[in-house]
Structure 1
């Protein structure tokens, strides 16, 4: 691939999957000391796949490498619930609740309400997991705290790169959004072709966009899409992509056919025809791609050259689901969670039955008498069989009576020890405070005298009956972990640590902008608005200002002024400006508004006609000593309009004289016409407009000065 597309060849080696193994010593320490959180500082990674079995009301972990079920936790749920895992916790996601369980303690930690009734598309990646509600345009990063991000419209199927960046296409809006690990607000800065359909895939850990409208493939660059490369196939708008490549090829499922498109050469795509069916997928291990026919419950896998393997799936109600684990294996399970089929990186299949009932459970759930798999040891020694003895000869001696004092010996007293660890330590952040709660600790035969709560920079002691305390004077924005230890007459017991919390000040919206002015330029049909920055921009991040003009026009700007053109309103109206910031959850919050009312166009003056005696003249009436022109001024008439001037005299009602002229751009016209010479006569002028309206001037006595 030439041009920008050549970046694909830069990294072909896949990153290894790394698992953190917690040594058995931690389990021994927990058993001896009662520590409730022995691995709180370690990311408890379990490569493999969690599946929810509704009959067992349990979530079970399948180790893809061994094909064994190696962990189980009792979690309430319903058939079809999905399971996604983060670093320390797993999440059972249903339509009405999300249940979090600890991966180390295998116990339910809390429940929450989903952000949408829509079935979530889950992505397990660094900083996640994420739940994407594609139709509603919502992205939820589950965990503590949970973050809900709004995308203002539907999104396509997301993909993730190994640095934890989540990529989401918004083809209807023509934007590609990304959520970096730890971000609270998505960044939608990469433009996509307007009106084009398409989907994303990751090739050698680089994101590509497949445009199914133009049948081209583009790398995603920092400033936009790279140069398009022809797919070599006609893709429909319903085509579905595997989120990762198959040996450098993009796998595209289009109806009953898989196309494996090479991203690094001009070779023709590999085409694989599938039997007629209803397919889920495709999903790739990196070496093979798999699809599931939901009609026949058949699993098909193909390698990079199209070689086929197939497997009939165990019968189970509901549609089978196929997902890729963080160990690059594929896992196929049914709605009830009774079977899992593992597809290894090279395409090999492993059946893993999820057994039900109490008699054949392979992994004891948390809370059973068994804390783990039994440890093999030497078989117990069998006692020698009893020897047959002859009964003794009869004796006349009385049998010896047992000494009751010898049989009722008092067992040795167990000495008291330091107390056990408090259970269920948790912390909730506040404004420069945190509330720490815990469960009772075992006193170990010595009455408790109190609890000691410790954190970086301080400690406090509570009474023995207290189960929570609020820690004041903490630094907002600083993360704290609190350790609680019980105290008795022997000493201080082992501590249990809380979840990390970060105190924050209450969210504060922006105050109103200052110095707001708005001017309506009626002639140019423009409204110009100016304002100053709010005195208090609040505690959130600035987004933009919203300028609302009279309720009929609204714009968003980041500066301190706005000019709105094409506003044809002559009456007064209200202009409002509001600063918008983001709250800690990433939602946009408008601040206090500033408002001002514009002035309406002043009413137009009525037309007027003013007559005066003009310059002397000898034309027409030169024989008369008072012969002069009539000077007439017409004001406030429609601009550029032909008007008619007509002169009248009371001396001769039959006399009149007319003249037409055009008003200027200001509606003004003046004339020197109608020579007149009749001293003492009363004269006047009338102006007539094209619509027939007539306006009379003042009346003057001619020759009166």
Structure 2
């Protein structure tokens, strides 16, 4: 029996939804999570439908994604993802699409595995509690904190319809085998099923599973869902025709479940008291609980082929139990570090250590084999060539647009240990936006990340033609095309390290039929970080391209859209072009009114902590950008002190500190929107120790040299300088890098014979103390 794919990862994913380029995605994936992965807590469960037996796994240290042949238990293709080195990357996949979601930049990239090229990118932001769910050609972004569900296209990553707003925070978010998306709504005590007819997301079933306000968790089943009422210690099994409630044999106060469960066995992890509750979806079955090993960092249990797999990141093993709780195996990963990811793909369970070179594959019979991920292709392997390289974000204006559009912005790289700038070929120049006209197509793209070397040229190809473009180009017009013929354009960027992966346009068909241009374009700023643009609908139009200053900033399927990644504090106007189903376009609209998006202030431009003495520090910082709202005031927080407002002043002194203690100071800006990004610095105060002392001795002289030795005592030495006044020479005792107590010797040269020189020496420490010495030395005649 074929088992749909389920994966468990440590962090919640973002939207993964595909609507298709030229080809509609077949059965795809359902993503969720709660337990063990790259952040070290939590895990993700996603149900995938991958018929080929090929699974892509991420390796963070070499920054590469490898395609594993699950049946052969080996990697047959590896591809560098240069710009994501050391990052946490989630991989969402089926036979046609590969999505790479970089958690540290908040960026999703879409790859069409049929056409072998990148097709789009989308920035959803860092540190957001999002789940991406996908089934067939339906996909949705579930925003847990906002309580919204939003359908997107897997190829273009554009939204398909308006978000569905639910009552408060939501949990879960996965498709069942019947194409229904289930989420839990704790504030209402309900679970909700959504359907996604073309361009419309609707709630078609609401089931009460607990009193309003109870703490819920949700795992989606093949046909229905199981709600975990952590407040009451109950399970609610929702199937297509009925709902039944079952009491748990153990407490569920901190219970977790994967977002998607395949098969009739559900595993609920309850910690404490470190138990797994095995729940059968069969009618009349009663749940049973068994104990887990204690004192370990255990993740969310994942059922697969009648067994229950529990990852342990502290020992880098996976414990295997049968449904009665008998441990049948312990699967180790020798040399593994960091978190573990468990994913069920078809008839195999993949166990990946993304921070290490090892993985395991387990078949439905429990047979397991070790996979070495860091290896190259072998002769005779089949499958697509290596094509993936993470699209980075340049610092030039980038397209943006949430809601029913797509977009990106520089989301930053996150606080990960390996942030050294990567070098290599450029990232793919996605998205490639195509607008067709009469026997022509206008193309535009964004400048890709250069990975250490500027782009020198682009190569563009299409059916019947090719062109080389300058490295500064961000668009071109192709003429002489045939009306009524569909074209897909393939673009690569080159630098001195090599060529990027291919970026693909959507298929477009030139036409002599001209759409009317949109009219009445109006822009507004309804909320922080958002510009809303609206215009009149155009008869025959199926999508609209929004530009600002010649740059594509959004593509929308309806006559309005939200742009959420523009630069706050900068003025924009917009023009709109209408496209039909073949992407044949109208002329541009007249420009909109000018608007200036606003947001919370940015981070302070610098932060310095000066130690005045063993009991005092002075903190100073640079101005933060106001991002379209003033005035900007500043707040500062110090360990054991609390938060103070300094108004518009950018300095603060703290006294009465403890010698030898360590303090962290954090500074951020605030405007009418809210608080900006915080910047922190840690300082250790000098401790009490030997008193600061200095002595200087003149060791020898010649007709043109004086040699002397400086002896220092004390702790926290900061500066030491010796000056020969008449010669205008100054020597830094610490020029060699050592700043400790001890002796330092130096020879002053090229002096004048038979001349007396006045010597001044001064030493200071970080506690604000200083000592000086004065004397003389005479050169020989």
TM-score (norm 1): 0.47
Give the greater-gyration-radius structure (CA).
1
**Higher RCO (C-alpha 8 Å, min separation 6):** 2
